[in-house]
Structure 1
């Protein structure tokens, strides 16, 4: 049986898909690259913001045509979109044979095998994967950078976020299970291990053992001296001194801190339900940089949140100017009727929110340009990820996370994808560096 799989949304969704695809391969399914030749098509959806919902529905409708134009006998839609809009989807998308909510890793094979006979059925969310369940054997991507999900769900109640309702409360995986998965991937040739969760720095808060992210990082670092270890999606309240010290002390745990602060105004942070204020952010970033001078900090913020006034935006602008984050992502607030923030007063127009985003990104571009010039003529190890064109490759230095940050563009005739090589920095752009190989 031939299976075509499409995964939309965040990297956590991609990890879910890798797990489920591995289980399908183990059960004898053959994964194919195009929907035209598939017997079954699975779409793992995202339903986080309006744009993601639209992309998911458009993708489903586009793939549905292969039920008449190809060999597809079953179209299966899974994931966050289903969990959020289950009843609406059954009416909106009669082309779909089976809808499955979030989770269901261990039962994905029997579910898709029965999909052809279900004709639009919705199966409620089923038992979440056991925290100690062994990971299936995954295949390395060409870049040899792999994501490992260390927890599911979230215990927070940010007013703009639907994730706790879709994914449930925090459930950390057993440390031994994570280490075992990492060992298998490193033995297969992984060059970088990237830890992800809804709140990675809350890892272990729900476990009976007294374990935290610092313990997990130390255990992973013991597996190999050469593999980069990175964690994404930290929360300001769960980044403590012990975690900072662990990052400082272990050389190949990268001093890269991804900390979405979301805003710089105390009033807006309260409306968001974030649990901290402007001064807390400053203290945390100052503490990280004092202990680890070479640390790189990435953050994300939201413009146009309900009630955001000029003074609130100015507080955010001033904070970005003060802290000079090495990497910054800016999102325009996305509203939906099922969000607590939808009930807040004083909505901000999309035009105003976009203008504020543009101002932030203009400021960040200046910050990025100045920061990147500091790497001129330096020699850095980079991980080669892709061939862009003849004589040009895309690579990443340790201070660049995949997909969200800039790259090092390396001039070379032939470089092995997935290799780590030394390069000399020869120039810089707005967000990227230019480099050449070192003979």
Structure 2
């Protein structure tokens, strides 16, 4: 007589885990990939660090302020090893990659450090590694872009960042990213298309393409694949025949690598937002040379003029650094004049952040922090006026809004195609009495007023 089959025992979850993600959108993708691997391994995910047995902090150290925020967050979360359920604290990402073995004795509260080249080993890292090394820090160039082909736990159900490359080949003197992320490694287009289709099938309405240098995408592939070609394939593969059905947005471009084919692809494809994110960093030729940026003020002027010729409704976003070593008042005035001339729709700014491991640290004539801050304030004051004036042109228009949040009392918040997530303003939409607008849906709203960087609208 055959004995009855044994009832399979349900596998006990390894534990409860909380991941705290800091920094940019590229870091967010890394965090979502790690969460996907951890969930597949059976970990129960929570957003409450006080309830977690394991806490993971995915850090940023692009500038000193970001590194300081990462350190403060680590120390704040470490207290749950005493007052909460935490038995293991793991630190990943750019902070351990930047400071490597030097950081280990400085943070005894941390059980393991995981560099950017080892994020695919997160499941191993959160497990019990008694007697194992406290740091896994391989060369970031050793992490294959194939590691991006994995399930993600999305932060937002309706908008997602789609990483198309990793690393950077630039030599900007103020930037440490090539050392933290390695040389540029573009993902094969078929991998990007597959992930794009999967995200859309999961309900995502907005794909934001990100990399350290998105407009340099594909030049390292054999054969090369232009970004313009990728956009055409992605719009087709994801069914983005109409902008109202899907938005594709390109973030983190570089003025030197943008070409006319890309501009024309944005103009031709309804699914692609007419949004150009091109950080210029400065507008003085002298400062640009010191920064290692291989373009000129006149070249930038020609580029933005050409974009507006081909895409008349183009939205221009840029970023500027104030207080770079050697920046004079005359240099900074050139930034103000250029911002006044081009009239960017969105402009972000950073006060120069110095560090001993940056090439720019060796440049003479450091600018006092208070001077750099004062210039930052003047630039953003100018941009506030420009943005308010430019937003006025939207009053009376009907614009498509992606609805993201129900604020109560019939008020909803969302964004137009000219507003990127997290970095730009938002659009507040008042619904008709008794009507609830669909979260994650597109609504044609009438713009009634502006509020500095934000728009105020009514749903029909």
TM over 0.5: yes
Q: Partner residue of 1:433?
A: 455
Whether 1:184 and 2:203 are equivalent positions in the alignment is: no
How far the C-alpha of 1:369 sits from its partner, in A, is: 1.1
CA distance in 2, matches of 1:118, 1:99: 14
Q: Partner residue of 2:330?
A: 311
Aligned length: 437
Query: CA 1:89/1:338 → structure 2, altered by over 3 Å: closer, same or farther?
Result: same
CA distance in 1, matches of 2:133, 2:148: 32
Q: Partner residue of 2:119?
A: 105
Q: Partner residue of 2:5?
A: none
Whether 1:211 and 2:211 are equivalent positions in the alignment is: no
SS in 2 for 1:428: strand
2:134 corresponds to which of 121, 128, 136: 121
CA distance in 1, matches of 2:166, 2:64: 22
1:369 corresponds to which of 388, 393, 398: 388
The runs of at least 4 consecutive aligned structure 1 residues that moved more than 6 Å come to: none
SS in 1 for 2:91: strand
Which aligned pairs between 1:156-305 and structure 2 lie closer than 5 A?
156-222=170-236, 223-224=238-239, 225=241, 226-305=245-324
How far the C-alpha of 1:277 sits from its partner, in A, is: 0.8
Q: Partner residue of 2:12?
A: none
SS in 2 for 1:418: coil
CA distance in 2, matches of 1:246, 1:370: 29
Q: Partner residue of 2:444?
A: 422
TM-score norm. by structure 2 comes to: 0.92
1:38-73 Cα offsets, whole Å, 9 max, x none, are: 121110000111111111111111111111222211
CA distance in 2, matches of 1:105, 1:4: 16
Whether 1:72 and 2:86 are equivalent positions in the alignment is: yes
- RMSD between superposed Cα atoms in Å: 1.5
Larger radius of gyration: 2
The answer as to whether partners of 2:163 and 2:211 remain within 8 angstroms in 1 is: yes
Query: CA 1:382/1:118 → structure 2, altered by over 3 Å: closer, same or farther?
Result: farther
Uncovered stretches (5+) of structure 1, i.e. residues with no partner: none
CA distance in 1, matches of 2:115, 2:152: 23
Q: Partner residue of 2:401?
A: 382
SS in 2 for 1:325: coil
Greater Cα shift, 51-60 or 82-91: 82-91
SS in 1 for 2:422: coil
1:137-181 Cα offsets, whole Å, 9 max, x none, are: 234444501001111110011000011111111011111111111
CA distance in 2, matches of 1:270, 1:371: 31
The answer as to whether partners of 1:98 and 1:118 remain within 8 angstroms in 2 is: no
Q: Partner residue of 1:54?
A: 68
SS in 2 for 1:55: helix
Whether 1:401 and 2:420 are equivalent positions in the alignment is: yes
How far the C-alpha of 1:390 sits from its partner, in A, is: 3.5
How far the C-alpha of 1:237 sits from its partner, in A, is: 1.0
CA distance in 2, matches of 1:366, 1:205: 39
1:258-309 Cα offsets, whole Å, 9 max, x none, are: 0000000000000000011101100100010011111111000011000000
CA distance in 1, matches of 2:406, 2:233: 34
SS in 2 for 1:434: strand
How far the C-alpha of 1:103 sits from its partner, in A, is: 2.8
Query: CA 1:182/1:118 → structure 2, altered by over 3 Å: closer, same or farther?
Result: farther
CA distance in 1, matches of 2:147, 2:66: 30
TM-score norm. by structure 1 comes to: 0.96
1:236-269 Cα offsets, whole Å, 9 max, x none, are: 1110011111111111111100000000000000
Q: Partner residue of 1:24?
A: 38
The answer as to whether partners of 2:165 and 2:214 remain within 8 angstroms in 1 is: yes
Greater Cα shift, 106-115 or 346-355: 106-115
Q: Partner residue of 2:348?
A: 329
1:170-198 Cα offsets, whole Å, 9 max, x none, are: 01111111111110010111100000000
Uncovered stretches (5+) of structure 2, i.e. residues with no partner: 1-14
Q: Partner residue of 2:110?
A: 96
